[in-house]
Structures are given as structure tokens and as C-alpha cells.
């Protein structure tokens, strides 16, 4: 099998321009061989099991540092020509004492909240934040209420994800504004605390955390996410005309940045070693679950690409670099360090592909590339459709590789079937058991197919 | 919203032929409205929860009869104009006493098996079947071994599902031959029992059952499925040169057929009530799990279609009939009764759509239709692509509606992303918790979109 493949590979190289039909056939066989190796012998799932067994990997935590060591070893075991750690200072936010909170109706019904401090938020200090709860569903409503209605209150951003958006990330992007900017927007009008509805597709009992970004112009006030069940409860009470008194405590603290690292392993290109193809995910995760889908999946898929090339004895023409970025969730400081290093070393970054939409069945790719490059890539679509990869669209690629846009890198993101993603995203339910082996491996297969084509033919 | 929709709907009817662009736009809005209703207010998931809470629904069991009553009530609650039970005699196979079995190596290592009698198989009687185990991976290998090597032995069909087949049903179809025909093929050469490797995508500890079909020319011998973990263990022992002594008992019994029913509910068409569109799944399930994906999903999706038309006040031009077929798993006698009734009543069955590939994200449809009909349907593809429905292909539709081919019905099957299906298929793991609400509802949305287009424009 190996020799036969080699033969076809050489044939493809010789006749690609002279004989496009043969090239197409041999490309198809080459892609099939890569995919079959992953679907048959893929190690990504077992690597993910191991990675998840170490617990969460919040930037600056010991879990994250353990994961750095573990994934460097995985890259070595996968057969990377070289592996290294790329130092970076990362955000060091700590949850501290477990959050507590409740709501109480004007007629004395007390409802305990399932809640989580928002990432990068400040804590409540020695005593809880307690005040009347004011529900809003938009920033314009917030502005309308103004300081008169909001000063000294706790603002409740009840922005449900739109269930009719089939691409769930669009719903996430829209409703996520409350979590991302809500605390500072509320503080602008004198609010003393913020409660956001968790960003979850369904009504469930789990708080889903995520980063908030304070605006330095306004006071930094404590902010928590409550479960969608709790949010629905609160909404019903307020709709029924009952006022709600809210109380919550948060032990969250931001410390000075600490040293951490991106984990990198590469296969040196056989013909154009100076042209780098980055394929990656982010190694850090939130601390409530195991970060299995977000983004252990992307990490083990990147490692799988190294393993597969090596296991099949295929030498890509261009350099393939698997990168596990640190600190995507609450700082993207690993990504910044990667860009800085690329600039300092005058590296030529041809292409980068990120997997950070969960370890689900792949549907295609989003590209951030110039039109002629998109045209070229689109011609490969017939090779990939038999693996269910139908969606080739222009759009966002990934938070980490996004930085490489500054040096003109062609970018892509794996587009997955994300219907289940916001059941588990940033919550305690993002565990190894939520990942399907075949779906995870099919994602890695989609990635290696695209990476191989770019490595063979450039862009 | 409702009036606006009505207006567009009338516009579409008036200008469809004169003004295809407007028609396309109004169709798009109409489909969007149907999809949004399901994604926002869909009841299929809660109906599935209720259906699964009643336990398994093997044909002839009290569970199946309870489900008949329950789903008829669900159809009524969904607003069906009429509901009825269509009597049919169904296979009555009973598992009886729990199966037991073990393997023992020549050097005395005993390995307990996790096993399940195959559906419709005979039991082992008063004492277990015990004999030397002979592994085969094909019928040609079986033939080669012949009576000399097989008489008095237990045959082990170790046909693993091919992990490289992206459409998992293809792998299932290929490897399933051992379960379906293996027992009779082994009995032909004098074997006294059969053990098959479970049809599962992954190596797991669960036996996956399913029907076998005896050939009346050969003795009926007991047959069980063992977990893929056990199959791997057995294979390793035999590869290492150890012989294996197998012993298993099965209390399975086939009784005379018993009366049961298909459950039917319909909305009478406003313009062409005599033209029937059947949309369905099968109500019976295996007895190891809850039959959530197989095929509770298809049943609640069919009910959801009735609910959605009624909730939106949309009157389809043609008659929409939701059918929950009984006895698909081990007899398809409900499907036969449905065909017989259609013939006896001279019903005109324009189109039938079955959902029996699990309650996963939809990918498109398989059609069994003449070429001109396929061309017509393919022109609707642009309306459906935004819901992730890319795959319009000719191919198998569904076991139940397949019977309607005899009266020239145009057939279709919902094509789902089935990467996770054979983790749970016919096993104890096919439980409500394995179903995603959004995926299930998106499947129902895909179905109603196609059903509505057929109802509007015919075929």
C-alpha cells in the first residue's frame, strides 16, 4: 500500500499541470489514504481522554501547566521532527471562593441561583452584592432606563440565544454582547453588579461562563452568569409583576500575568521548508468542565495531523506546524506571542487553520483569504465533498490564528455541525463523554485533507 | 406575522409561474416560518422524553401497546384533523430469560460475555449451547471451512464495521450480513450456534442486537451478538493460537403473531385532499434501550409536522398523514398492512418521507423517484441549503414506506449525520439522553420544509 501510494504521489507531482484528470484522481487517492488512516487508527480520541483526565486548564493554573507538558509529549510521540515551548505571559484570573447567590421575590419566595463568575471579572469583596434586580434585553433599553433607574441596582442581561439561527455561532455572537460588554455598560449608569443569562442553546441547570471585558472608563463591578433555568425563573417573576431582590458573592480575582507557553511541534517541509502551515487549537480552557470540545478537540486534532503524516511516511512539501495556543479564553496572549515571534524571525506564514468550533462532525471551512485564493481553494471542493465537506464560505477563521492576518497569512477555520455546542460550551458539561470518537476523527480528517492540498500546491 | 405570511402565500400561489423570483422569495419565507416555529416552540423533544419514559417498545410487548395509545394522544394534542389505529398482526418474539455466556481458552482463562440474543432467533432450550468457537469474516471463508470444520461447532462472525466508510449505513449494510444471514449459513454446514460481533462503530462493552432471518431450508440454531470488546478479546486469543470453547444460553422464543396497530393522524388537504403525503417513522423498538434514536425520533418528528402546520394555521393543499409504523425491526408487518389498506381503499399516495436514520442533524434526503421528479425536487435545493441540507441523492428511502413503491409512490428518506448512530444503535445506550434537542428539531424542520414544498407544488 505504501509503495503504491508513493508511486501515485510521484505521478501526481509529475503530471499535475499536464494532466489535471490524473492529478485529480491521484489527489483523491492521497486524501483518501490520509482520511482512512485517521478513521482507522486515529489517536486523537485517546489523547483527548488523557488530556481531559487532568482536569481543567485555565490560563495560569497548574492544570494548564500540566497540559503543556502532556501535549508536548504527545507531539513527540506523534513523531514531530521538533517540538518546543514558546513562552508567553498570560492572564491569571482566579475564581477563588465558590460563588453563591439567590433571588428573593417581594412576597418572600427565595430562589437559589446556579451561577458562575464571569472570566476576568472582579469579585464582590468581603460581603455580597445585594440590590434590586433590573432586567434588560438590550443596551438601548439600558440607556433608556439610565442612571435614575439603574444606580445602586443589579442589572440582569437576559439575552437568550436565538433558536432560529441554524449557525449557532451567529446566535452566540449576537447574544454574547451582554456577557462581553454588559458589566461596563451597566456600571456606566451606576449599577453595582451584573447577572447575565448563560449563553446556552437550551434551558438547562448549568451556568456557562466566559470572559467579560471591562472598559477602563467605568467602575469594575462584579458579574456572574446564571443558568438559563434560573434566568427563565427570574423572567417569569418579573413578568408577573413581582420585584426581585438579588444577592450574590464572587471570590474572583485578577492577578498579575504569569509565564506560560504555547506548545508547538512541526514537520519540516521537504521542498519549501520556509513556508509554514499552522494548524491548531487552544490549550487553555474554562475551569468548570474539562474543556473537551473547547478546545481539547482542536489540540488533539492538530497533534493527529502530525501523527498521520508520520505514520504514513508522507513528507509534506511545506512545513506543517501544530500549535496549541495558550490563553485564548481570556487574553489571547499566546496568539500574540506567536505573531510576535513570527515577525521577529521573519517567518513566512502561508496558511493557518484553526479548529475551535468543537469536536463535532465537520461541515466545511470558513476562509479569510483574498478572492483568487478562495477560487483556487474552491476547486478542491470536489475532492472533499465525499467527506461531508460542503460548506466553503468566506467568514471568520479563529481567535488565535486571526492575529496572523497582520502578516498576510491565508486563514481558515474548521466549520463544524455545532447544534450541540452550546449545550456544553463553557459549562461543567464540556467533558470527554460529550465528544464522539468518529466525529472528532472526521474533523481531523477534514483538516489534514485541506492542509495536505495547501502543502502540495501552495496558495 | 401571520397575516403577512398569508399575503405572501397568496402572492406565491398567484405568481408562481409568471414570476419565479417572487415565488422563490415567498417560498423561502414560508419555509423559514415553518422552520422557525419548530426551532422555537418544537414539542418533539418533550414528546420523545415522554415516549422514552415508558420503556422499550418491542412488537407485541405491553410497552409497544402503551406507545400506541400515547402517540395517538400526541397526534390528537398536535391537532390532527383525524387520528386512527390501523390494525396489523405483528411478530411476537420474546427474549425470555436473560442470556448468559462465556469463552474459555485452552489454558483455562474464562471470559464472561456481554451478549444479546438476536431478534427472531430461537433459544437454546434447557441447556446452553457449548462447543469450540470458529471465527470467520466472510461467507466464502465459511464455505471453505465446510462441514468438516464446522459441524458441531459455534461459528463466530467477526465482521467489524468499516471505519473508513463515511456514510456509516454503508458499513452497516456490508457487515450486517453476518447477523442477518449468518445463523442459517452456519447451520447449513452443521454449526450448532452462532455468535456475531455487534454492529457498532466503536469498541464498546454493549451488545447491539437486531433481527436475523432464518432460511427454512436449514436448522434454526441459537444466535447471539456479543459486545465489540468481547469480539476483540476473542479475536486476540484466536490470533495468539489459543483455541476457544464457547458456551451460551438464550431464552428467546417466537410466538404466534399478535394484534397491534400503526398509529395514524392526518391533516386533510385543502385543495387536493385525495393526494396523500405520508411522513413517518416506526414506533416499535428493540428491548435493550429506549429506542430513542431508533426510531422514537422519527415518530415525534412526524407528530411535530402535524403540530407545526396546526400551530401556524397553515392548511396544506394535499393531505399530510403522520404514520407511526409498527414492527419495522423484526417483521415490517405494519408497513405491509399500510400498503394493503392503501390498495384496498384505492388511495393515491403521491409522496412518502421516512425518518429512520436517528434524530441527528439532517444533511439532506435520499430519494427513490423517477428522474424528472428528482430534477423537480433538486430545483428546491437552494431553498433548503441554508438549513444545512446539501445532500440530495438517489438511494434508499426507508424500510416502511419502501412498500409503497408497489403503488408508484415517490419516496424519500431523511439523511442524517449518522457518525454517532452506531454507538447506540440497537443497544442499551439508545436512550433519550443520547438525543440532542436542536438536532432532533432541525431534522423535523428539514422534513416539514420538503413536505410543504411537495404539498404546494406536487411532483
pLDDT digits (tens, 9 = 90+) for A291-304: 999 999 999 999 99
| Candidates A438, A444, A445, partner chain B, best to mutate (most B CBs within 10 A) | A438
What integer pLDDT is reported at residue A37 of this predicted model?
Answer: 98
What integer pLDDT is reported at residue A24 of this predicted model?
Answer: 81
Strand order across the beta sheet in which A244-249 lies:
A110-112, A100-105, A244-249, A129-136, A154-157, A193-197, A223-226, A115-117
Residue spans in chain A of domains classed CATH 3.50.30.30: 96-251
What integer pLDDT is reported at residue B10 of this predicted model?
Answer: 38
The helix-helix angle for B437-457 and B44-53 (nearest 10°) equals 120
Whole-angstrom Cα distance, residue B179 to residue B189?
A: 17
Q: Which of B40, B423, B438 sits opposite A420 (nearest CB)?
A: B438
Of how many residues is chain B composed? 459
**To the nearest 10°, the Cα dihedral for B363, B369, B374, B377?**
-60
Chain B hits for A419, Cβ within 8 Å:
361, 436, 438-439, 442
Please report the number of interchain residue pairs, chain A to chain B, with beta-carbon separation below 8 angstroms.
65
Say yes or no for a CB contact (<8 Å) between B163 and A439.
Answer: no
> Parallel, antiparallel, or unpaired for β B100-105 and B110-112?
antiparallel
What integer pLDDT is reported at residue A102 of this predicted model?
Answer: 98
| Protein fold of B2-90+257-457 | Aminopeptidase (3.40.630)
Residue spans in chain B of domains classed CATH 3.40.630.10: 2-90+257-457
Residue A247: is its pLDDT beyond 70? yes
Asked whether the beta carbons of A286 and A207 are under 8 A apart, the reply is no
| Protein fold of B96-251 | Glucose Oxidase; domain 1 (3.50.30)
In which element (H, E) is residue A172 found? helix A168-175
Whole-angstrom Cα distance, residue B33 to residue A346?
A: 53
3-class DSSP assignment, residue A371: helix
Strand order across the beta sheet in which B253-267 lies:
B82-94, B253-267, B318-325, B272-282, B348-354, B410-416, B362-368, B391-394
Paired with B263 in beta bridges are B85, B324
What integer pLDDT is reported at residue A81 of this predicted model?
Answer: 98
Q: Which residues have CB under 8 Å from A366's CB, separation 6+?
A: A393, A394, A395, A396, A397, A412, A413, A415
Say yes or no for a CB contact (<8 Å) between B438 and A168.
Answer: yes
A173 φ, ψ (degrees, to nearest 5):
-60, -45
Say yes or no for a CB contact (<8 Å) between B166 and A363.
Answer: no
Say yes or no for a CB contact (<8 Å) between B391 and A390.
Answer: yes
Question: Would you state the CATH architecture of domain A2-92+256-457?
Answer: 3-Layer(aba) Sandwich (3.40)
Whole-angstrom Cα distance, residue A396 to residue A412?
A: 8
Look up cell 456509516; give the residue: B168
B53 φ, ψ (degrees, to nearest 5):
-70, -15
Instruction: Output DSSP code: residue B385.
Output: G
Tens digit of pLDDT at every position of chain B (459 positions): 333 333 333 334 444 444 455 568 999 999 999 999 999 999 999 999 999 998 999 999 999 999 999 999 999 999 999 999 999 999 999 999 999 999 999 999 999 999 999 999 999 999 999 999 999 999 999 999 999 999 999 999 999 999 999 999 999 999 999 999 999 999 999 999 999 999 999 999 999 999 999 999 999 999 999 999 999 999 999 999 999 999 999 999 999 999 999 999 999 999 999 999 999 999 999 999 999 999 999 999 999 999 999 999 999 999 999 999 999 999 999 999 999 999 999 999 999 999 999 999 999 999 999 999 999 999 999 999 999 999 999 998 999 999 999 999 999 999 999 999 999 999 999 999 999 999 999 999 999 999 999 999 999
Say yes or no for a CB contact (<8 Å) between B202 and A168.
Answer: no
Cell of A178: 451582554
Region of residue A175 (phi > 0: left; psi between -120 and 50: alpha; otherwise: beta): alpha
**Which residues on chain B place their C-beta less than 8 Å from a C-beta of chain A?**
35-36, 39-40, 163-164, 166, 168, 201-202, 361, 363, 386-388, 390-391, 417, 419-420, 423, 436-439, 442
What integer pLDDT is reported at residue A4 of this predicted model?
Answer: 39
What integer pLDDT is reported at residue B22 of this predicted model?
Answer: 58
Whole-angstrom Cα distance, residue B103 to residue B110?
A: 6
Whole-angstrom Cα distance, residue B118 to residue B208?
A: 9
Predicted ipTM > 0.90: yes
Look up cell 469474516; give the residue: B137
Of how many residues is chain A composed? 459
Paired with A412 in beta bridges are A353, A367
What integer pLDDT is reported at residue A2 of this predicted model?
Answer: 37
Per-residue model confidence as pLDDT tens digits over A312-331:
999 999 999 999 999 999 99
CA-based nearest residue in chain A for residue B438: A419
Whole-angstrom Cα distance, residue A169 to residue A172?
A: 5
Asked whether the beta carbons of B134 and B238 are under 8 A apart, the reply is no
Q: Which of B36, B388, B390 sits opposite A164 (nearest CB)?
A: B36
User: Which residue spans within B202-251 are E strands per DSSP?
Assistant: 223-226, 244-249
* DSSP secondary structure of B94-128: E--SPPEEEEEETTS-EEE--EEEPBT----TTS-
What integer pLDDT is reported at residue A8 of this predicted model?
Answer: 39
Whole-angstrom Cα distance, residue B366 to residue B298?
A: 15
Whole-angstrom Cα distance, residue A208 to residue A185?
A: 21
Average pLDDT, chain A: 95
Cell of B70: 400515547
In which element (H, E) is residue B352 found? strand B348-354
Rg of chain A in Å (alpha carbons)? 24
Chain B hits for A35, Cβ within 8 Å:
164
What integer pLDDT is reported at residue B1 of this predicted model?
Answer: 31
Give percent above pLDDT 70 in chain A: 95
User: How close B242 comes to chain A (CA, Å)?
Assistant: 26
Neighbour-count burial for A201-233, b at 16+ CB within 10 Å, e otherwise = bbebebbbbbbbebeeebebbbbbbbbbbbbeb
* DSSP secondary structure of A177-219: HHHHHHHHHHHHTT--EEEEE---SS--S-----B----TTS-
Q: Which of B363, B438, B439 sits opposite A388 (nearest CB)?
A: B363
CA dihedral sign of residues A198, A201, A206, A211: negative
Paired with A134 in beta bridges are A155
Say yes or no for a CB contact (<8 Å) between B417 and A417.
Answer: yes
Greater confidence (A7 vs A401) lies with A401
Q: How confident is the model at residue A434 (pLDDT cuts 50, 70, 90)?
A: very high
Rg of chain B in Å (alpha carbons)? 24
Give the mean model confidence (pLDDT) for residues A124-136: 96
| Candidates B48, B200, B361, partner chain A, best to mutate (most A CBs within 10 A) | B361
Cell of A248: 450574590
Asked whether the beta carbons of B213 and B180 are under 8 A apart, the reply is yes
List the alpha helices (DSSP H) in B285-361.
Answer: 297-312, 333-344
CA-based nearest residue in chain A for residue B443: A419
Say yes or no for a CB contact (<8 Å) between A166 and B387.
Answer: yes
What integer pLDDT is reported at residue B24 of this predicted model?
Answer: 81
Q: Which of A36, A166, A419 sits opposite B436 (nearest CB)?
A: A419
**Residue B284 half-sphere exposure, CB side, CA atoms within 13 Å?**
30
Q: How confident is the model at residue A5 (pLDDT cuts 50, 70, 90)?
A: very low
User: How many Cβ atoms from other residues are within 10 Å of residue A240's Cβ?
Assistant: 8
Per-residue model confidence as pLDDT tens digits over A168-198:
999 999 999 999 999 999 999 999 999 999 9
Asked whether the beta carbons of B442 and B40 are under 8 A apart, the reply is no
Amino acid at each position: 500500500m505504501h509503495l503504491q501510494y508513493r508511486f501515485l504521489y510521484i505521478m501526481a507531482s509529475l503530471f499535475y499541470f499536464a494532466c489535471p484528470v490524473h492529478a485529480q484522481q491521484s489527489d483523491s487517492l492521497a486524501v483518501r489514504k490520509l482520511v482512512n488512516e485517521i478513521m482507522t487508527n486515529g489517536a486523537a480520541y485517546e489523547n483527548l481522554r488523557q488530556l481531559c483526565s487532568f482536569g481543567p486548564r485555565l490560563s495560569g493554573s497548574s492544570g494548564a501547566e500540566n497540559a503543556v507538558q502532556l501535549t508536548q509529549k504527545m507531539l513527540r510521540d506523534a513523531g514531530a521532527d521538533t517540538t518546543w515551548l514558546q513562552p508567553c505571559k498570560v492572564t491569571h484570573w482566579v475564581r477563588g471562593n465558590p460563588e453563591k447567590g439567590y433571588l428573593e421575590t417581594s412576597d418572600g419566595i427565595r430562589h437559589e441561583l446556579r451561577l458562575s463568575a464571569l472570566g476576568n471579572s472582579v469579585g464582590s469583596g468581603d460581603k455580597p452584592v445585594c440590590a434590586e434586580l433590573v432586567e434588560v434585553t438590550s443596551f438601548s433599553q439600558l440607556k433608556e432606563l439610565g442612571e435614575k433607574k439603574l444606580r445602586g441596582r443589579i442589572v440582569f442581561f437576559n439575552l437568550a440565544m436565538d433558536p432560529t439561527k441554524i449557525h449557532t455561532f451567529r446566535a452566540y455572537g449576537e447574544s454574547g454582547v451582554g456577557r462581553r460588554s454588559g458589566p461596563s455598560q451597566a456600571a456606566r449608569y451606576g449599577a453595582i453588579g451584573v447577572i447575565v443569562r448563560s449563553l446556552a442553546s437550551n434551558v438547562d441547570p448549568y451556568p456557562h461562563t466566559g470572559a467579560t471585558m471591562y472598559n477602563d472608563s467605568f467602575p469594575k463591578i462584579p458579574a456572574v452568569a446564571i443558568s438559563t433555568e434560573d434566568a427563565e425563573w427570574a423572567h417569569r417573576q418579573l413578568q408577573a409583576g413581582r420585584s426581585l431582590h438579588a444577592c450574590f458573592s464572587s471570590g474572583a480575582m485578577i492577578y498579575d500575568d504569569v509565564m506560560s507557553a504555547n506548545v508547538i511541534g512541526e514537520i519540516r517541509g521537504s521542498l519549501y521548508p520556509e513556508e509554514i502551515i499552522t494548524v491548531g487549537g487552544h490549550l487553555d480552557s474554562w475551569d468548570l468542565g474539562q474543556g473537551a470540545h473547547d478546545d481539547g478537540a482542536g489540540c488533539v486534532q492538530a497533534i493527529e495531523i502530525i501523527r498521520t503524516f508520520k505514520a504514513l511516511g508522507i513528507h509534506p512539501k511545506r512545513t506543517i506546524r501544530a500549535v496549541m495556543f495558550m490563553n485564548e479564553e481570556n487574553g489571547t496572549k499566546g496568539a500574540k506571542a506567536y505573531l510576535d515571534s513570527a515577525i521577529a524571525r521573519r517567518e513566512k506564514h502561508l496558511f493557518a487553520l484553526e479548529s475551535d468550533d468543537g469536536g463535532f462532525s465537520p461541515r466545511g471551512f470558513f476562509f479569510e483569504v483574498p478572492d483568487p485564493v478562495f477560487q483556487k481553494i474552491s476547486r478542491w471542493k470536489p475532492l472533499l465533498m465525499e467527506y461531508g465537506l460542503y460548506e466553503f464560505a468566506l467568514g471568520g477563521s479563529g481567535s488565535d490564528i486571526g492575529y496572523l492576518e497582520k502578516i498576510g497569512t491565508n486563514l481558515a477555520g474548521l466549520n463544524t455541525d455545532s447544534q450541540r455546542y452550546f449545550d456544553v460550551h463553557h459549562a461543567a458539561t464540556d467533558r470527554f463523554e460529550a465528544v464522539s470518537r468518529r466525529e472528532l476523527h472526521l474533523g481531523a480528517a477534514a483538516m489534514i485533507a485541506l492542509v495536505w492540498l495547501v502543502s502540495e500546491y501552495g496558495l
